């Protein structure tokens, strides 16, 4: 792209013609000639300055065009990389679901074999009664089904299934885990009040739960999301004091820095 300033050149040409005409006709005085020459020089200088500015503008536009081209190319590469990463994550996620399904099917089949009449005959005398074993297997299956729903992101259905599990199997060893995943599901649905109730129930009734640090962290995050900053800070500090060295304690420290 190249610009010219033809109007200045035209003005110089007209002044030159006028100057020559006056010279030829002999009508011009010395003063008029000097003034005309000065005006011609001024127009020349202005024309040079204008052309210089136009050249600079042309350079800037060219550089910006090149920068924009590179920027578009960089953005295109970044988008391609992100799409590749998303695709890889999706594949990993699908693979994880397949593994979970495979584990669930294998576990269900093993429980079916164990609870079958033929298998019961070979069990040692210390084995639980068939009815009790079947009930335990049924409870475990209910828990597994609900847990798979959480992994798939079907949080509403997972909450319903975990509640059924807790109703039918309230004394099962996985009951505390069920309460945690119900709270986690509510948190994922951004139903923070319900999540708080579930996490507080877990922490009150299962004081030595393996889920205590995770429940405390998500309890603090739920309070934070609801704008209860002072309560959130108190919970994060409790988490750091009660569960030092855990991942959740480190996350709580980072949250407290943001909340100062």
Cα 65–66–69 angle (5° rounding)?
A: 85
Smallest CA-to-CA distance from 172 within 206, 218, 126, 214 is with 206
pTM comes to 0.53
Residue with tokens 């190249």: 2
- Residues of the chain falling short of pLDDT 50: 2-5, 112-125, 127, 130
pLDDT tens-digit profile of 35-86?
656 666 676 677 677 777 777 777 878 777 777 777 766 676 667 677 667 7
pLDDT at 52: 77
pLDDT at 118: 43
**What CA–CA distances, in Å, run from 143 to 153, 160, 165, 179, 241?**
16, 11, 6, 11, 32
User: For the CA atoms of the chain, what is the radius of gyration?
Assistant: 40
Per residue, the 3-state secondary structure of the chain, as one string, reads: CCCCCHHHHHHHHHHHHHHHHHHHHCCCCHHHHHHHHHHHHHHHHHHHHHHHHHHHHHHHHHHHHHHHHHHHHHHHHHHHHHHHHHHHHHHHHHHHHHHHHHHHHHHHHHHHHHHCHHHHHHCCCCCCCHHHHHHHHHHHHHHHHHHHHHHHCCHHHHHHHHHHHHHHCCCCCCHHHHHHHHHHHHHHCCCHHHHHHHHHHHHHHCCCCCCHHHHHHHHHHHHHHCCCHHHHHHHHHHHHHHCCCCHHHHHHHHHHHHCC
Diameter over CA atoms, the chain: 139
Indicate left, alpha or beta for 172 from its phi (over 0: left) and psi (-120 to 50: alpha).
beta
Separation between Cα atoms, residue 14 and residue 145, nearest integer Å: 94
pLDDT at 40: 66
**What CA–CA distances, in Å, run from 126 to 114, 133, 159, 173, 183?**
14, 12, 35, 20, 37
Report yes or no: 148 and 101 within 8 Å, Cβ to Cβ: yes
Cα 117–119–123 angle (5° rounding)?
A: 115
pLDDT at 61: 81
Q: Which pair of structure tokens corresponds to residue 190?
A: 């951004």
Residue 107's CB: how many other CB atoms inside 10 A? 14
CATH of domain 128-258: 1.25.40.10
């Amino acid at each position: 792209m190249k610009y010219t300033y033809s109007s200045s050149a035209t003005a110089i040409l007209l002044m030159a013609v006028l100057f020559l005409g006056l010279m030829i006709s002999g009508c011009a005085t010395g003063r008029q000639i000097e003034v005309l020459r000065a005006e011609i020089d001024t127009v020349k200088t202005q024309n040079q300055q204008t052309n210089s500015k136009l050249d600079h503008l042309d350079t800037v536009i060219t550089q910006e065009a090149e920068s924009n081209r590179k920027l578009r190319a960089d953005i295109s590469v970044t988008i391609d990389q992100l799409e590749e990463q998303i695709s890889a994550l999706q594949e990993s996620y699908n693979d994880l679901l397949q593994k979970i399904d495979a584990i669930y099917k294998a576990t269900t089949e093993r429980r079916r074999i164990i609870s079958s009449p033929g298998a019961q005959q070979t069990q040692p005398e210390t084995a639980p009664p068939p009815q009790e074993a079947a009930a335990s297997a049924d409870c475990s299956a209910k828990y597994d089904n609900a847990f798979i729903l959480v992994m798939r992101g079907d949080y509403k259905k997972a909450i319903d299934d975990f509640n059924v599990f807790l109703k039918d199997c309230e004394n099962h060893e996985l009951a505390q885990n069920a309460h945690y995943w119900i709270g986690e599901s509510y948190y994922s649905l951004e139903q923070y009040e319900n999540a708080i109730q579930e996490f507080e129930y877990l922490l009150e009734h299962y004081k030595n739960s393996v889920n205590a640090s995770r429940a405390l962290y998500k309890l603090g995050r739920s309070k934070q999301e609801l704008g209860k900053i002072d309560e959130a800070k108190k919970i994060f500090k409790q988490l750091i004091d009660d569960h030092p060295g855990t991942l959740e304690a480190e996350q709580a420290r980072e949250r407290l820095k943001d909340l100062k």
